[in-house]
Amino acid sequence: MRKTVAAIGIFDGVHLGHRKIIRAAVIARRAMSTAKRIGGRSVVITFDPHPLKVLRPHKPIPSIMSTAHRVRLIRELGADACSVIKFTKKFSNLKPRDFVKKILVDRFMVLELFVGTNFVFGKGNAGDTALLKRFGREYGFKVTVVPLVKVGGKIISSTTIRDLIIRGRLAEASRMLGRPVTVFGTVVSGASRGRLLGYPTANIDPHHEAIPPSGVYAVRVRLGNKKFGGALFIGHRPTFGEREPVIEAHIFDFRSMIYGEDIEVTFVKRLRGVRKFAGHEKLVEQIRKDDAYARRILSGKR
């Protein structure tokens, strides 16, 4: 591997704070190549699964996005490569010096490393940014600590964003993410309720756990390089007596079969909560209203 300028972190959500770290590494690599003629690469180093899911399995945390989605967003920021390290119990037991020598020096040949203020590493999180800088001087690489980013006076963190999404405070979460809240998942077969009612839906198996509250939402749907408008339902279907929650999107003016395809749904506005209707006719009437309302919102006519 060629020498690298690297950013390292979990980067769940790839929020504004993460973007600042990653972009700093990308810019530094370009400047270094121009000024010193070093043909290195900018690499973002991240981990899967989230370390806390391995270290504290009894207290799982909901991820904001899947690893595949995270990698895609990281690459869109201009990094030459994104390396995902499998986080295991064995890996977690690496002492701080071993982590630096085996991972940063031997594997990635780091010339300069960008981290957030709260970055920790090594067994028991024994290593902090001060120790990292000391090791950097010893092994010959520079460490740049990127300050935390605030929005509205609040420090941006993945933990805060997860909490906002789950509580339905999507506008606040979006401001911290620097982009709208999304659900990313695979289209799977369902009970075909929507098709029977005249409104076919794509049932989504999400790749992550931080999901907004139950309800109906106006959304934009990304399938490959194409985007569509739609209405999304999250929750159980009380009208049918079903308790199993679902996530299903009615994609406007779309009729193709897309089972097995990955789909990204961007939340625009919550239309209403989940309700039980007296019968199928009343439900269809409400779906028709939801459809029209969502189309107005997506066209800018609120």
| Longest Cα separation, the chain | 73
Check whether residue 57 and residue 138 sit in a common domain: yes
Tell me the pLDDT band of 196, cut-offs 50, 70 and 90.
low
231 lies in which domain range? 181-298
Residue 238 confidence (pLDDT): 66
Q: How far is CA 89 from CA 10, 58, 85, 92, 244, in A?
A: 16, 15, 13, 5, 34
Residue 29 confidence (pLDDT): 86
Check whether residue 145 and residue 230 sit in a common domain: no
Contact between 114 and 146 under an 8 Å Cβ cutoff? The reply is yes
Tell me the pLDDT band of 244, cut-offs 50, 70 and 90.
confident
Specify the residue for token string 């064995």: 90
CA distance 123 to 88: 12
Residue 71: closest CA among 79, 63, 62: 79
Tell me the pLDDT band of 240, cut-offs 50, 70 and 90.
low
Check whether residue 147 and residue 189 sit in a common domain: no
List the beta bridge partners of residue 185.
206, 263
Tell me the pLDDT band of 276, cut-offs 50, 70 and 90.
confident
Contact between 173 and 165 under an 8 Å Cβ cutoff? The reply is yes
Per-residue pLDDT of 20-43, as tens digits, reads 999 999 999 887 765 455 557 899
Check whether residue 20 and residue 122 sit in a common domain: yes
Residue 278 has pLDDT above 80, yes or no: no
Where is pLDDT greater, at 30 or 104?
A: 104
Lowest mean pLDDT among 145-159, 177-191, 233-247, 275-289: 233-247
Q: 287 is written with which tokens?
A: 């779906």
Give the total number of structural domains in the chain: 2
- Cα angle at 203 between 277 and 215, to 5 degrees? 40
Residue 35 confidence (pLDDT): 45
Where is pLDDT greater, at 190 or 258?
A: 258
Residue 226: closest CA among 207, 189, 254: 254
Tell if the pTM clears 0.95, that is, is over it: no
Tell me the pLDDT band of 280, cut-offs 50, 70 and 90.
confident
Residue 88 has pLDDT above 50, yes or no: yes
Check whether residue 80 and residue 27 sit in a common domain: yes
Check whether residue 133 and residue 218 sit in a common domain: no
Residue 117: closest CA among 24, 3, 210, 4: 24
Check whether residue 224 and residue 280 sit in a common domain: yes
Residue where a domain terminates, one of 123, 158, 193: 158
253: phi > 0 → left, psi -120 to 50 → alpha, else beta; which? left
CA distance 130 to 105: 17
User: What's the mean pLDDT when you consider all of the chain?
Assistant: 90
Residue 111 has pLDDT above 60, yes or no: yes
With a pLDDT cut of 70, the percent of the chain lying above it is 91
Per-residue pLDDT of 122-157, as tens digits, reads 999 999 999 999 999 999 999 999 999 999 899 999
With a pLDDT cut of 90, the percent of the chain lying above it is 75
What CATH number should be reported for the domain holding residue 135? 3.40.50.620
Residue 194 has pLDDT above 60, yes or no: no
What is the end-to-end Cα distance of the chain in Å, rounded?
Answer: 53
What CATH number should be reported for the domain holding residue 225? 2.40.30.30
Three-state SS string over the chain comes to CCCEEEEECCCCCCCHHHHHHHHHHHHHHHHHHHHHCCCCEEEEEEEECCHHHHHCCCCCCCCCCCHHHHHHHHHHCCCCEEEEEECCHHHHCCCHHHHHHHHHHHHCCEEEEEEECCCCECHHHCECHHHHHHHHHHHCCEEEEECCCEECCEECCHHHHHHHHHCCCHHHHHHHHCCCCEEEEEEECCCCHHHHCCCCCEEEEECCCCCCCCEEEEEEEEECCEEEEEEEEEECCHHHCCCCCEEEEEECCCCCCCCCCEEEEEEEEEEECCCCCCCHHHHHHHHHHHHHHHHHHHCCCC
